[in-house]
Amino acid sequence: MNSRDRIQEYHRWVTYQRQEQLVREHRGATDKLVNAGVTAKSVTQGYHSMADKGASEGACYRTLFMREYVDNELLPCEGWLFIRRVLEDGESTRVRASLLETFNLIDGQIRVGDRAADSITLEIFDQVKVGNHISTSSRVDRVDASGDTRFITFLDAVRGDLRSYMK
């Protein structure tokens, strides 16, 4: 194996390691939300706060989300969200945002500025799970394109330097 092949193999290994780290992080965050019984109403309040900080300070928030690949394989991706608006209409809550993707399995690590941000629409809702007992948890899915679901956005992971990339 020549040095070029070794370097490519190393980069693939680093990508897979990062993917596995995101799998564990998304699973852990999801479990915490479910165990805490977080509702769509409280998630909506969080997104309102993110929109306020985005408007006043240009705040962008780290987000993990699941993407559906071939054969219904769901794997987490990572990015930064700039929340533009939270729209509430009765029982429905939609979020207009810009997503700057920074990692997915296909592309690996994506440097900020290498790809334009996507304008996206998310929906916040309560999901009822029936098993040994009935439980309710919140869920945030993308509704303007298929395949991206289960967004988890971290209020404590904030950047103020990405606004120029979110246009």
Mean pLDDT of 70-78: 92
Domain ranges (residues) in the chain:
3-165
Pairing of strands 118-130, 134-142: antiparallel
Amino acid 109: pLDDT? 96
Amino acid 132: pLDDT? 79
Amino acid 30: pLDDT? 94
Mean pLDDT of 122-139: 84
- Coil vs helix vs strand at 11: helix
CA distance 96 to 81: 10
Look up tokens 């533009």; give the residue.
Answer: 84
Using pLDDT thresholds of 50, 70 and 90, give the confidence band for residue 54: very high
Say which amino acid occupies 110.
Answer: I
Backbone angles phi, psi at 100, to 5 degrees: -105, 100
Q: Is the pTM of this model over 0.85?
A: yes
Say which amino acid occupies 85.
Answer: R
Q: Range with the lowest mean pLDDT among 19-23, 87-91, 104-108?
A: 87-91
Statement: residue 129 has pLDDT above 80: no
Helix (H) or strand (E) holding 62: strand 60-68
- Coil vs helix vs strand at 140: strand
Mean pLDDT of 102-116: 95
pLDDT per residue as tens digits for the range 21-32: 999 999 999 999
Token pair for 110: 């994506």
Using pLDDT thresholds of 50, 70 and 90, give the confidence band for residue 130: confident
Amino acid 155: pLDDT? 93
